[in-house]
Structures are given as C-alpha cells and as structure tokens.
Amino acid sequence: MSNIAIPLLDKSRLGRVRMSRLAQCVQCIYYPSIHAFGALKMDLRQLRTFVVVAEAGGFAAAQQQLRLSQPAASRQIRALEDELGIPLFDRVGRGIKLTSEGEDLLRRGRRLLQDAESFGERARALRTGKAGALRVGCSTQHMETVLANFLPLFRRKHPSVVIDLIEDGGARVPDRLQRGDVHLAIIPAADDGYHRRLLAPVHMLAAVSPRHGFASRRKLEIAELAEESLLLLRRDFASRGWFDAACNVAHIRPRVILESAAPHTLLALAKGGNDVAIVPSNVQIPSAGVRAFPLIHRGASIGRWTAVAWDPQRFLAPYAKSFIDELVAYCGQHYPGREFAKRVSPLPRPEETKA
C-alpha cells in the first residue's frame, strides 16, 4: 500500500486519547496524501461499509453483516463519496454497481482496514504486556554461546516481542544499563545496586597446546604463570579485571605478549605455539588442538557468577520478566563451560532478586 501513509492522530487530541480506546477500536484516522483539496479525514466505519457493500453486491445482502439499516448504510456511502470527491457506485435501477473508481479503491480499502485491525491488535498486545521492544546488552561471548541458541526459542514463544541486542565489552555493559541504553544486561554479579537473577558461574581458564608442559593439568595455580608468555583479553573485558586482581593478590607480574579483543585469536595462537591463553569459561573452547583447565589461587577458583540484571528504578515490562525467567531456566541446563566447574570448588553464590 505504497501511497497510504501511516495513520496520524491530531496532536490537539493526542492527550485525550487513551491506550485502552486505541486497543478496542480505531474509529478514524488521518490519511495525508497529495490531493487537490488537501488532506482527507477518513472514517473507518464508512470505509468498512463501502467494502462490505461492494463485496456483498448490494445494501440488502450486506445489511446483516453491517448491522445497519439500508438507509443508514446508504448515508455512510454518500458521506464517503462526498469526502473523496468521486462516485463509488452507480445506481442501476434498484441495484448498485461499482464504478471504475470504486473498483480501484476497493482493493486499497481492504488493505487499509487490515492495517487498522492490525494496529488495534498491536495496541491490545502492548497494553497487556505481550508485545514490545526489549534491548539486551551483553558481551560477544554471551551472544555467541548463550543468546545465539536461546533467542530462537524465546522468539517462537513470544513472536510479538522485538529483541534488540547491544554488544559491548563486559566491563562496559553495566554503564549501558546505568544510562538506560538497555533494559537488561548480562553482566558479572556485583554489589552495584541493580536487581539480578543468577545465570551461571564463569571460571577463568588457561588454554595451551597439547605439547605444552601444562597440557595434562586439570587445574592450575595462578602463581605458576609467573614465567609464562601470556595471551590476554583487553581490559574492557570483565574477566580481564578478575585475572589482573588475582595476579595482584598472588604477587605476580604477568608477562603479556598480546592483548586482543578476540578470544578465538588467543586460542588459535595458543594452539600453534607455546604461549598460554587466558579466557573465561563462557568462551567456546575448540574440541581438538587445545587443552583448557581452570585457574585457581590457593585452591579457590578465580571467577564470578554471571547474572541478568535490570535497574529497579525503571519499568520492567511483563515480557522482560518472561525473558529473564526463561533465560535463567535455559542457562541452568545449557550454560557453556559447565564441565570446568566440576574440577574446582564452587564460586561464592551472590544474592539475587526476583523480577
């Protein structure tokens, strides 16, 4: 319907229009177009009468569907013809027949009514919290190893919810939530004032080639990295901060030969050389060519719980709550790196908040 613009409400009336009325019935729309006499004010009831009468072949046949008397329907058709400035029907004896103009507008009228019905359905869905837009911020790793498989499941159950993903470094995603750029953020659990539901623990891993001296280890004390050449993620990754903090506590100064924004680059270099890649356990570890194991400090695993967080000062739509509940359930079964958690003591479990 290329020549019909999006319906617009008169600004002077906008404050008096309530969502509940829009959801129940769209009585009339403003329909701007190029016209010799200016903009047309279209009444959808008149338009519906025109379409039903045309499809039924006459007023008498359309009377039951319209629930209008024949004189009332005839008045609506005349009013629509006056508004449009063209005849829609020819009166032939006691019957009627579409004019050429009427035939042209019938198809467009059907489509406009369908759009109006869809408009009302969308308003009802928005009012009940079954539709809307949800912005989710997270790191590349969470997109790849969690959301890539979770989102198709969620979208099948909630087709009217539009998910917009905002990618950023894990250390910067909380700032996105604070600014209101996103409604939900997948971030490390912290005492930051946000409400949260826990997803899964993330452990720091060391990854080496099968030829490396550490290859047979099931876990590794961080102090043993003091003399190793290390491949690290950049500092805008939240896990890099955990690693740096652990090095400070262990009193070691890591020998860093590369900082990268791509975990797979670090793993590829470790696979082909004698360096040690340090990555979080939510990264997809290759099934061959690399040996990975948890890093520990004095027997305790280095890592954090990951959570889905939201700002309690902002409104959380019902479909956002459904997203949270379903993501928590999904991660309970499918979160990446679960096998590494079995090799170390559990991470301290932070408190969480119900959505």
Mean pLDDT rounded to a whole number for the chain: 86
Kindly tell me if the per-residue pLDDT of 3 is higher than 80.
no
pLDDT in tens, 210-252: 999 999 999 999 999 999 999 999 998 999 999 999 999 999 9
Q: Are 184 and 53 found together in one domain?
A: no
* pLDDT value at residue 179: 87
- Of 128, 160, 187, which closes a domain? 128
* pLDDT value at residue 121: 66
The verdict on residue 37 lying in a domain is yes
Phi-psi region for residue 235, left (φ > 0), alpha (ψ -120 to 50) or beta?
alpha
Q: Are 288 and 312 found together in one domain?
A: no
The verdict on residue 218 lying in a domain is yes
Is-above-0.95 flag for pTM?
no
DSSP symbols for 123-177: HHHHHHTSSEEEEEEE-HHHIIIIIHHHHHHHHHH-TTEEEEEEE--TTTHHHHH
Query: Any idea which of 2-11, 117-126, 156-165, 329-338 has the lowest mean pLDDT?
Result: 2-11
Task: Kindly give the interhelix angle for 44-56 and 100-128, rounded to the nearest 10 degrees.
Answer: 130
Kindly tell me if the per-residue pLDDT of 337 is higher than 80.
yes
pLDDT in tens, 184-219: 999 999 867 899 999 999 999 999 999 999 999 999
pLDDT in tens, 294-324: 999 999 999 999 999 999 988 888 999 999 9
CB 222 within 8 A of CB 291: no
Domain enclosing residue 72, as ranges: 11-128
Kindly tell me if the per-residue pLDDT of 14 is higher than 80.
no
* pLDDT value at residue 320: 93
Task: Give the integer Cα–Cα distance in Å for 172 and 150.
Answer: 23
What CATH number corresponds to the domain at position 172?
A: 3.40.190.10
**For the chain, percent of residues with pLDDT exceeding 70:** 87
